[in-house]
A and B are shown apart, each in its own frame.
Chain A
Amino acid sequence: QVRLQQWGAGVLKPSETLSLTCAVYGGSFSGYQWSWVRQPPGKGLEWIGEVNQSGGANYNPSLKSRVTISEDTSKNQFSLKLTSVTAADTAVYYCARFYDYWSGPFDYWGQGTPVTVSS
């Protein structure tokens, strides 16, 4: 059974860099798309970006200038870095697997990491 376990700092000050890592257990890392999704308090889901089965990365245009998603295939892990955070980046952050590049779905999710940005 595939399991995603994520971790990272939960409290940041404005202008700091958010850093989260997600480890994939119980299944293959290659051949799938690995995404980060966030959800601000009381709001909907927002896709942040992905590393895809070709090793490339795609990002939400609204965050592209501040986001880097990378993978470490030797460890079956992928990571999110979001620079220059503000209060607007306060959210629960999820890692997730997108099964098929064209049709998905997001079939496995991490447990979520609440991140608060506050001075």
Chain B
Amino acid sequence: SSGLTQDPAVTVALGQTVRITCQGDSLRRYHASWYQQKPGQAPICVLHGENHRPSGIPARFSGSKSGNTASLTITATQAEDEADYYCNSRDSSGFLLVFGSGTKVTVL
């Protein structure tokens, strides 16, 4: 399969840590990028490559990869982190791009 699989939803208490995972065969070869999307807005990249945060993204966002699974971790989660999160990478063929199905993060 060339798809990327994510859990549909996770809930985290304010100030706690949440990990979002993304599974797919293509991740054995390629790194995932991670995007945050809030209602009515375009997605923004929060992490890419091995563990690179674009300018302006807080250090509480970090990433890792093992085998076919990439993870996005939010440490000391804030209320403004409530959003949908998508992973993305090249597919196994190297010609196509794929997005994960998305994970809705709810902050209590």
Q: Which residues of A are at the interface with B, using a C-beta cutoff of 8 A?
A: 35, 37, 44-47, 50, 58, 60-61, 94, 98, 101-107, 109-112
How near does chain A come to B50, taking the closest CB pair, in angstroms? 9
Q: Which of B33, B35, B42, B102 contacts A103 (CB 8 A)?
A: B33
Interface residues of B in 49-108 (CB under 8 A from A): 49, 54, 84, 86, 88-90, 94-102
Q: Which residue of chain B lies nearest to A50 when distances are taken between CB atoms in the complex?
A: B97
Q: Check B42–A110 contact: CB distance below 8 A.
A: yes
Q: How large is the interface on B (under 10, 10 to 19, 20 to 34, 35 or more residues)?
A: 20 to 34
Total number of A-B contacts with CB less than 8 angstroms? Answer: 65
B35 to chain A, nearest CB (A): 7
Give Cα A26 to B86, complex, Å.
27
B94 contacts across to A, CB distance below 8 A: 102
**Minimum Cβ distance to chain B for residue A4 (Å):** 9
What residues of chain B lie closer than 8 Å to A98, measured between beta carbons? 97
**B96 and A61 contact, CB distance less than 8 A:** yes
Q: Which residue of B lies closest to A111 (CB)?
A: B42
Distance in Å: Cβ of A89 to nearest Cβ of chain B: 17
Residue from A47, A103, A106 in contact with B98 in the complex, judged by beta carbons closer than 8 Å: A47
Task: Let me know if B42 and A94 touch, CB within 8 A.
Answer: yes
A104 (CB) vs chain B CBs: closest residue: B33
User: Quick check: A35 and B99 within 8 Å, CB to CB?
Assistant: no
Taken together as a complex, chains A and B put the C-alpha atoms of A35 and B33 apart, in Å, by: 15
Q: Could you tell me the distance between the alpha carbons of A104 and B70 in the complex, rounded to whole angstroms?
A: 15
